[in-house]
A = this chain, B = another copy of it.
């Protein structure tokens, strides 16, 4: 028997479909250009999860008739309630930050400081690039797209924090 509890992916799907009906492929694209910027979800889950949610009565499923077989999902009353209950309930889990660069920094004591600086500079640059991407997106994305806008705000905040962090490492090391 399949899982009956809801996971973050469940709410991701529920949240997007509450916004408007969608096929799994729609979800895949929506996610890629929103939260997917810093939280990746395997597309296979975005196909499997709606089916499961439909089985739980939280989504309605409708086969498109002609052409390629594709399923359009829409939110049910129960689904909307589950989503809103979750939105309102307090969040307990702590955010997870999985950063290979940081992992390397932790173990960099066995490394010469040149290499550490190189690491820090590379990380800083990579975050600067990403910051530009977000700024560019910020110009394009209409203000009324609230969800997308929040993503960008968060993205911008993160990238600036990363840039500061690595920038300081890069500049502080050589003198030490």
Contacts and interface: CB of A to CB of B under 8 A. Distances in A.
Interface string A2-34: 000000100110011011000000000000001
Interface stretch (A44-52, A57-65, A155-163): A155-163
A115 interface: yes
Given A95-B99, A98-B96, A101-B91, A106 B35 contact: yes
Number of copies of chain A assembled together: 2
Interface of A: 8, 11-12, 15-16, 18-19, 34-35, 38-40, 80, 83-84, 86-88, 90-91, 93-111, 115, 119, 122-123, 126, 130, 146-147, 150-151, 153-154, 157-158, 160-162, 164-165
A104 B87 contact: yes
A103 B8 contact: yes
A18 B110 contact: yes
Given A87-B111, A153-B165, A157-B161, A100 B93 contact: yes
Contacts of A164: 157
Contacts of A98: 8, 39, 95-98
A153 to B, nearest CB: 7
Given A84-B111, A115-B87, A160-B161, A147 B97 contact: no
A154 B99 CA distance: 11
